[in-house]
Amino acid sequence: MSSGASVSALQRLVEQLKLEAGVERIKVRPAPASGLGVSQAAAELQQYCMQNACKDALLVGVPAGSNPFREHRSCALL
Amino acid sequence: MCDQTFLVNVFGSCDKCFKQRALRPVFKKSQQLSYCSPCAEIMATDGLHENETLASLKSEAESLKGKLEEERAKLHDVELHQVAERVEALGQFVMKTRRTLKGHGNKVLCMDWCKDKRRIVSSSQDGKVIVWDSFTTNKEHAVTMPCTWVMACAYAPSGCAIACGGLDNKCSVYPLTFDKNENMAAKKKSVAMHTNYLSACSFTNSDMQILTASGDGTCALWDVESGQLLQSFHGHGADVLCLDLAPSETGNTFVSGGCDKKAMVWDMRSGQCVQAFETHESDINSVRYYPSGDAFASGSDDATCRLYDLRADREVAIYSKESIIFGASSVDFSLSGRLLFAGYNDYTINVWDVLKGSRVSILFGHENRVSTLRVSPDGTAFCSGSWDHTLRTKNYLFVSLQVWA
């Protein structure tokens, strides 16, 4: 690789890192770096899971028959 | 990553000093010139400002990286699985192959669901792109691309078109027509042009725009109608292998993963990288947003999958086992985000409990490496594609406290 390319690549990297370091300190911005602690971020992920668990067919299963991929089974009434 | 600059032996007049010498191609402001060696070296240090040297730039980059790590560490008070300790453990899972889609003559490389939760588009190494009805396993459309290794394919949100590409370095859009007299290949529209292979593509919220990722290290946003480049995303240091768009409620961002081991989150409007994560130890093959849009998962050749939270700005979970030594090629979440399905190069699919970090199930069903995996839009099934030439649609039977006799 020519050294010319690596100089400009490094300059871009430094600019990008400066930008990211700046983002870190602004805790007021809503997203992406609102500076949430992991405990709070994790709690929100967990809450989303719990709220939507009942709708998740792969998690809780759906009543037989309402699942389009399940084979139709016929029951014989004697 | 292969070096993309070539030394060409050309002898001629240097564009700078005009002396007759052996010339090297040199790029100045994206214009290609031919410089002799001494002029090329002078140009290499041209871009430096006063007091800057290569060494000082490198050390500045290192110290900034260190500062970022410090800031992130301050917010790291606890692990995700600790927070999730009180959550009920998941019971036994039994997921069975419900459908097998046979028809590709060669390795299946990519697949995507249609929003109608029923149709699937898949692409393979032999250049074939097939649209299936997953309920009936019928093939509805088939087209042969002019290139092999069609590594990317996507269904348009309307269900009326598909996009695909690979070694042809392009992304082409094919409108789907049920008219038997029409040749699908005739209506093909070339949209994206990269300088290396296309690794991933996705329509945005409409049929009008496509996002692409390429082996040339960039991602790009294109207008389908005109083929115009709307925005390009530079920052990866190597091939970009995957991308995923944020769920619509969270706005205009997407995440990409590459051979540089980095996952980067981009703002689609400005083209800026807003967050980057570099904790994987090898190529990142697949990235997928958590359904809420606040996090994303990645699967890598380092045999781990990881979860990154965007607001905490760090990795919050790692899904790995000592017994898993093959790379993860493809990941996707179940509807609620509780389960993470990951396809591996050891032919298995592992199902992980996202919150607790433990594996809940292994699915054996393929006879070669699993290359692609997507959960259907309504979460009732997921489809996995493999190098063993088939697609299997799996669904699931929950077993909890039942005694089988």
- CA nearest A15 in B: which residue? B61
Judged by CB atoms closer than 8 Å, whether chains meet at B312 and A41 is answered as yes
> Using an 8 Å Cβ cutoff, are B345 and B324 in contact?
no
- Alpha-carbon gap: B225 to the closest alpha carbon of chain A (Å): 32
Q: Please state, in angstroms and rounded to a whole number, the distance separating the CA atoms of residues B390 and B359.
A: 25
The verdict on a CB contact (< 8 Å) between B380 and A24 is: no
Check whether A37 has a pLDDT greater than 90: no
Contact B364, B347 (CB under 8 A): yes
Residues B95 and B373 sit within 8 Å (Cβ to Cβ):
no
Of B72, B118, B309, the CB nearest to A45: B309
**Helix, strand, or coil (residue B320):** coil
Cβ within 8 Å, pair B68-A20: yes
The helix-helix angle for B37-44 and A3-25 (nearest 10°) equals 10
CB within 8 Å: B309 and A1: no
Question: Cβ B380–A62 below 8 Å, yes or no?
Answer: yes
Q: Which of B369, B396, B404 is nearest to B97 (CA)?
A: B396
A16 touches chain B (CB under 8 A): yes
Angle, CA B43 vertex, CA B38 and CA B48 arms, to 5°: 135
For residue B268, the model assigns a pLDDT of: 94
Tell me what pLDDT residue B396 has: 28
Q: How far apart are CA B208 and CA B222, in angstroms?
A: 8
Question: N- to C-terminal Cα distance for chain B?
Answer: 55
* Banded model confidence at residue A21, pLDDT cuts 50, 70, 90: low
Give the pLDDT confidence score for residue B249 in this predicted structure. 60
The rounded distance, in Å, linking the Cα atoms of B37 and B34 is 10
Q: pLDDT tens digits, residue range B71-94?
A: 777 666 677 888 888 888 888 777
Interface ipTM: 0.74
Give the distance, in angstroms, between the CA of residue A12 and the centroid of all CA atoms in the same chain: 28
Cβ separation B54–A69 shorter than 8 A: no
pLDDT at B400 (0 to 100)? 16
Cis peptide before A32 (omega within 30 of 0): yes
State whether B54 and A10 contact (CB < 8 Å): yes
Whether A36 and chain B come into contact, CB under 8 Å, resolves to: yes
HEC letters along B195-264: CCCEEEEEECCCCCEEEEEECCCEEEEEECCCCCEEEEEECCCCCEEEEEECCHHHCCEEEEEECCCCEE
- Mark the ranges of chain B whose per-residue pLDDT is less than 70: 1-9, 27-30, 44-52, 74-77, 180-181, 249-251, 389-405
What's the whole-number mean pLDDT along residues A7-24?
72
Q: How far apart are CA B199 and CA B109, in angstroms?
A: 10
Tokens (6 digits) for A33: 């770096």
Question: How far apart, in Å, are the Cα atoms of A6 and each of B36, B48, B64?
Answer: 19, 11, 18
Whole-prediction pTM value? 0.77
pLDDT of residue B291: 94
Within an 8 Å CB–CB cutoff, is residue A26 touching chain B? no
Give the gap in angstroms from C-alpha B145 to the nearest C-alpha of chain A: 30
How far, in Å, are A11, B59, B342, B343 from residue B73 at the CA level? Answer: 26, 21, 28, 31
Task: Provide the token pair at A19.
Answer: 């930008």
Task: Sort out which chain A residues have CB atoms less than 8 A from B68's CB and list them.
Answer: 17, 20-21, 24
Residue among B396, B397, B402 with most chain A CBs within 10 A, to mutate: B396
Tell me the C-alpha distance between B369 and B344, whole Å. 6
